[in-house]
Amino acid sequence: MPEVTSTSQTQSSAAQTAQTTLASNFDDFLTLLTTQLTNQDPLNPTDSTEFTNQLVNFTNVEQSIATNQNLEALVQLEQMSQQNMLGATMINYLGKSIGTNLNVSALNDGNAAWNIDLGSSAATVKYDIYNQKGDIVFSETAEGVAAGEQQYSWDGTTKSGAAAEDGAYYLVVTGETAGGSAVDVGYSFEGIATSVETVNGEPVMMVGDVPIGLGYITSVTQPTTTDPSA
């Protein structure tokens, strides 16, 4: 089941972490060097060759880290460019009817509906509804469900009897024939694209309260209505 929660996280890059570690190690190295030079025997001074080699190694590592930082910056710019291109493409879809085969729908004012297609008749069918966090909020089982396209509706009442908040929810349908075989289940959702937003760092089309990634869009048509509902 897809999860579409919007999060914001601050993470240090590998190059930044390496640079911090190198700075700490270099400070320790200078402390040891100063201490040893201060306490060396004037008649038998410390050979500086090893210290010189270590300084050269520190310089080489520092240059490598700087190169990695530049590469990371280029990768970030490329990612931003790709996201901007996706966003620009999605803007062209605003106001159009967007179709997808995701098992998603929006709960509005105590009503949500999913278009499903059972590949064969089912002796039992279980309907599990998940919120965007991946938690099951409602479940029920039906018997003797016919094959074909149909609609499943939910009034927003959770398994605890409370009213669920408006927003996007996911339906997982599990069907089984009288012989114990699994039933193929297809899903479809269609609505008017109302805005382009960022979810989990990725641009998505918003169809009402439902976020849909560009890769999940299966159809784009000129709508006959301006009502953004499935």
- Averaged pLDDT, 13-23: 63
Check residues 145 and 214 and name the one with the higher pLDDT: 145
Residue (of 114, 170, 102) closest to 137 by Cα position: 170
Q: How far is CA 219 from CA 22, 99, 103, 192, in A?
A: 52, 5, 15, 12
Dump pLDDT digits (tens) for 24-64.
666 666 676 677 666 666 666 666 666 666 666 767 767 77
Q: What is the mean pLDDT of the chain?
A: 79
Q: What is the pLDDT of residue 63?
A: 74
Q: For 63, what's the count of Cα atoms within 13 Å in the CB-facing half-sphere?
A: 6
